[in-house]
Structure 1
Amino acid sequence: MTDEQTRRVYERARMGGRLGLGERPAVLVVDFSCGFTDPECPLGADMTAEVEATRRLLDAARRRGLPVIFTTIGFEENLVDGALWVRKVPSLGELRLGSRWVELDPRLGRREDETLIVKKGASAFFGTNLAAILTSLGVDSVVLCGATTSGCVRATAVDLLQHGYPALVPRECVGDRAAPPHEANLFDIQAKYADVVSLEEALEQLESTGRRPSAPAQHPAEG
């Protein structure tokens, strides 16, 4: 099937609607730790361009006073908390708590008041209190960045939708180890789970809709 045929199939299925951002967005940066952004790590790749693009987005969000949340993957020394995932992907065993590979890429410039969630699974929601954090901050939508597009970014995009949070994915701000899975998953995320947009469009939406939450808003999913 050609790309044009694929596009027509998805159009016929009426996939790819637009969600947009709400009035109280947050930026969520998934797993831009050194283990993924440094090619010296078996899990990593050179994600300089993606990290720098994300820093532009973060600086814009910070100027607007918007919440910024980071995640990283980290396991105990015995890797028991990695369960089946570490058996399936043994190189995840490099991500032991306390190691450099678990640390966020310093180019992101994380601030002391910006939340860091340590997770054990692909989705930023799985086994974490991310949903409670978003609710307590009054967040109604998310700009999603990070690595990898085909793994933790995709899993988080699915769960953002399922938790009722519209999401933007700036394509310059997400990365993977190889182009084919990166592009295929961006296509699928756009079709089913979130709005895949350019960095410039994401910045424009932040500037036009984002503001500091003045009070916690009741999240629709919480009833």
Structure 2
Amino acid sequence: MVDPETLATYDRAGFGAPVRRGVRPAVLVVDFSYGFTDPAYPTGADMSAQIDATRQLLDAARDKDVPVVFTTIAYDKGQLASVEWLKKARGMAALEAGSRLVEIDTRLSPREDEAIVVKTGASAFFGTPLASMLAGLRIDTLIVTGATTSGCVRASVVDAVQSGYPTLVPRQCVADRAQAPHDANLFDMNAKYADVIDLDEALAYVRGLPTSTPSDAEVPA
């Protein structure tokens, strides 16, 4: 629960305005790979509730032909000694290419026609083809789910809005290893970068989209 003084401070600064909802959204599933979703691994945690919520969103998106893009972090042997992030976040070095840890959790049933973007940093945009993929699909809104709220989700959300995408974050669809950073980053993202919304609102938005893909003429320039 955020204290009233903090809320008043952010309101006075002009933060927290709602973002627009477009007609061509995509769902970005950040790093729901076993290295994050399986608590048997040191880097993982039990994210079953968030996986289930994200699966509901993906089912709705797929029914409406809304594009779904997954990301995973994976390093080859040569990158383990050269990626600066791994000197700070040493546990991430376990995410070796070809291992189970980098595979997308099968509870999300990733489809063959849904892209998997491999990254070596926190943001889904940094050093990846994601921006060009979204531009090619003429996406005008991004719905971000995944893990972790305080790490790769936040970094991806910040880069999404800086890349010109109104961004939505369904709170039931993002997970972290601890509650305090999860809550703090949801508050900050909602204040500055995205609309943090309930899953029901995200489902209603997706289900309310036109059944047919809008023509280019209907897409805002």
TM-score, structure 2 normalization: 0.94
* SS of alignment partner, residue 39 of structure 2: coil
Whether 1:111 aligns to 2:111 is: yes
Residue 148 of structure 1 corresponds to 148
The one-letter code matched in structure 2 to 1:73 is I
One-letter code aligned to 1:8: A
Distance change (3 Å), C-alpha of 1:90 and 1:210? farther
Aligned-pair identity (%): 53
Which is worse superposed, 201-210 or 3-12? Answer: 201-210
One-letter amino acid of the counterpart of residue 122, structure 1: A
Question: Given residue 133 of structure 2, which amino acid in structure 1 is its aligned partner?
Answer: I
Pairing of 1:84-123 with structure 2 (within 5 A):
84-123=84-123
Q: Which moved more, 1:6-15 or 1:168-177?
A: 6-15
Query: How far is the alpha carbon of 1:197 from its aligned partner?
Result: 0.2
> Within 5 A, what are the aligned runs for 1:164-203?
164-203=164-203
Cα distance in 2, alignment partners of residues 187 and 212 from structure 1? 35
Consecutive unaligned residues of structure 2, counting only runs of 5 or more, are none
2:137 aligns to what?
A: 137
Whether the 8 Å CA contact 1:137–1:213 is kept in 2: the answer is no
Confirm or deny that 1:157 pairs with 2:157. yes
Per-residue deviation, 1:179: 0.2
Letter in 2 for 1:62: R
Q: Which of structure 1's runs of 4+ aligned residues deviate more than 3 A?
A: 78-82, 209-220
1:118 to 1:215, Cα distance in 2 relative to 1, 3 A: farther
CA distance in 1, matches of 2:126, 2:32: 17
Aligned residues: 219
Change (3 A) 1:20 1:83: same
Q: Does 1:66 align with 2:93?
A: no
2:84 is paired with a residue whose SS is: helix
Determine if contact 1:161/1:193 at 8 Å carries over to the other structure.
yes
TM-score by length of 1: 0.93
* RMSD of aligned alpha carbons: 1.7
Q: Deviations over 1:77-123 (max 9, x none)?
A: 24347611111011111100000000000000000000000001100
CA contact under 8 A between 2:23 and 2:214: conserved in structure 1?
A: no
Q: Which amino acid aligns with 1:180?
A: A
Determine if contact 2:50/2:173 at 8 Å carries over to the other structure.
yes
1:24–1:211 contact (8 Å) kept in structure 2: no
Task: Tell me how far apart the structure 1 counterparts of residues 175 and 105 of structure 2 sit (CA, whole Å).
Answer: 14
Determine the C-alpha separation between the residues in 2 that align with 1:158 and 1:211. 30
Cα distance between partner residues in 1 of 2:82 and 2:29: 21
Structure 2 CA distance for aligned equivalents of residues 219 and 86 of structure 1 = 41
Pair 1:208–1:81, CA change in 2 (3 A): farther
